[in-house]
Structure 1
Amino acid sequence: MNLEKRNKIDNRILAGDGLYYKFKNRSYSCSAGFWARSQPNMNYIATTGHCYVPGSGPFYLLPWNSTRVYLIGEMPIHYLEPIDFGLINIDIKKIQPIPSVRNTDSERYKELFIEDVILASNNGAHLCLSGLRSHVKCGYVAALNGFTSNGLYFRDNIFVVNLRNIAGDSGGPIFYYKNFTHVSLNGIVQGGLFDFNDNINGITGVITISSILNLFEDLEVVTTS
């Protein structure tokens, strides 16, 4: 893995791009959820809190289908309860965050502009994820009011989508297509929910965007509008 620390602003990070870090000589990965900002002009990449490992090194940008990574920064803010959420410091002089979703596999619409933030409000709504391993895939809302517990942490601010995510997709955006080029952000991937019996489609738990913004009242999602 090639580690880059160049100062030129030629490295862009989009929602769905990979996040790479090392701990005790082992490599780990998650996905970027969205560009977040708080005052006074602090910039972050949002992802899941479980991507943080105490004692691990800084996070790097790992673009799709790439072996070259670019330094982003540390994760000073990370929670496992009441929501699974973390914020990575970003220096926009070195890495340029973009308020768009990565969709590189598409021939025509390689970036999907995040126009706004909305709540998932209907069972059966068609939503999609973008992540390092799955790239873009879609499914339908199976439940609006879900919770998870592993005996240590309880989280009740999730909804459920019947699509299968792959390890490394955690933290990636869940979004709704407004048209071919613009999307609304609904939340970020927490991970697979293995208590559900769906061996065909898979089941993904989603951290609601409202629970994130309720916990961090001074945080805003950077959009194109």
Structure 2
Amino acid sequence: MNLEKRNKIDNRILAGDGLRTYDKVKKTGKLCSAGFWARSQPNMNYIATTGHCYDSASPFYLYSLNSTTEIGEMPVYFLEPIDFGLINIDIKKFQPIPSVRNTDSERYKELFIEDVILASNNGAHLCFSGIRSHVKCGYVAALNGFTSNGEYFRDNIFIVNLRNIAGDSGGPIFNYKNFTHVSLNGIVQGGLDDFDDNINGITVVTTISSILNEIEDLEVVTTS
């Protein structure tokens, strides 16, 4: 077996992959999903996800059914006015990919992130990719919303009629341009489920525009 080739495959990180923390003392951790590959000057590389995934007691690990590999720390995170964080990544050890993981598809396992756009109207068809749910799709129910839990206030969000599962937070929200290329709209902040029928729910989305407005000089890496 070619060990160099195997390690290169294991260390690829796509949007929708799993990110996990683990507190060795408490033996607990958090599971979230990768949102996208981001860069800032001078040539700093990050994996973006939600800020509530931050864990002061643990670095982040690339999580899958086959391996758990340490990535790095989250030096930048916000809990308001947006829910967002950046994980440091060493591209000498890991290969971030500007693509969305599409695990359940037989033909299109990776969806190339071609550009970044805003969700512009109610009823728009959008999808997300997460470590727990894989790729699911729904429709925009509301634009220009906000959330508040009594502790944190977050605005510049929109709502999609789509059920997500704990662990999907941070995953990319996108729309299809064709079978293989997508546009990035934001990341999953969280949501509410209707457990009576196990299908319906709402997903709260942190918009890509609010992320780029909050963090100066941050760039989403795309294929174009």
Give, in angstroms, the shift of residue 105 of structure 1.
Answer: 1.2
Give the deviation of 1:200 after TM superposition: 4.7
- Code of the residue aligned with 2:61 in structure 1: it is Y
CA-CA distance at 1:53 after TM superposition: 2.2
Question: Counterpart in 2 of 1:3?
Answer: none
Give the match for residue 14 of structure 1: 14
Work out whether 1:60 is the aligned partner of 2:55. Answer: no
- Kindly report structure 1 stretches of 4+ aligned residues shifted beyond 4 Å: 6-10
1:166 is matched with which residue? 165
SS of residue paired to 1:70:
strand
Secondary structure of the corresponding residue to residue 27 of structure 1: coil
Answer yes or no: is the 8 Å Cα contact 2:16–2:131 preserved in 1.
yes
Deviation digits for residues 55-94 of structure 1 (CA, Å, limit 9, x no counterpart): x21101113xx14111110001011011000000000111
User: 1:129 is aligned with what amino acid?
Assistant: F
Cross-structure match for 1:218? 217
Which digits, 9 at most, give the CA deviation of each residue in 1:180-217, with x for residues without a partner? 0000000000001479xx97510010000000000112
SS at match of 2:189: strand
Q: 1:91-102 counterparts in 2 under 5 A?
A: 91-102=90-101
Aligned partner of residue 187 in structure 1, secondary structure: strand
With the length of structure 1 as denominator, give the TM-score of the two structures. Answer: 0.91
Find out whether 1:141 has 2:143 as its counterpart. no
Q: Work out whether residues 9 and 94 of structure 1, in 8 Å CA contact, stay in contact via their aligned partners in 2.
A: no
- 1:149 shift after superposition: 0.3
Partner AA of 1:96 in structure 2: Q
Instruction: State the one-letter code of the partner of 2:164.
Output: N
SS at match of 1:151: coil
Matched-pair contact (CA < 8 Å) for 2:21–2:55: no
SS at match of 2:164: coil
Q: May I ask how many residue pairs the two structures share in their alignment?
A: 216
Label 1:10 to 1:194 Cα distance change in 2 as closer, same or farther (>3 A).
closer
- 2:35 corresponding residue in structure 1: 33
Within the alignment, does 1:132 sit opposite 2:134 as a pair? no
Q: Which residue of 1 aligns with 2:3?
A: none
CA 1:122/1:85 → structure 2, altered by over 3 Å: closer, same or farther?
Answer: same
SS at match of 2:22: strand
1:122 Cα offset (Å):
0.8
The percent of aligned pairs where both chains have the same amino acid is 84
Distance 1:7 1:133 in 2: 24
Distance in 1, matches of 2:163 and 2:98, equals 25
Distance 2:10 2:33 in 1: 20
The separation in 2 between residues aligned to 1:144 and 1:199, in whole angstroms, is 25
Matched residue of 1:203: which SS? strand
Contact 1:9–1:95 (CA under 8 A) maintained in structure 2: no
Deviations 1:94-137 (A, max 9, x none): 11100000002100000000000000001000000000000000
| 2: CA distance, partners of 1:37 / 1:184 | 18
Q: CA separation of 1:71/1:121 partners in 2, compared to 1, >3 Å: closer, same or farther?
A: same
Q: Could you give the per-residue CA deviations for residues 11-55 of structure 1, whole angstroms, max 9, x where no partner exists?
A: 10000000011122113210000000000000000000000122x
Aligned match of 2:204: 205
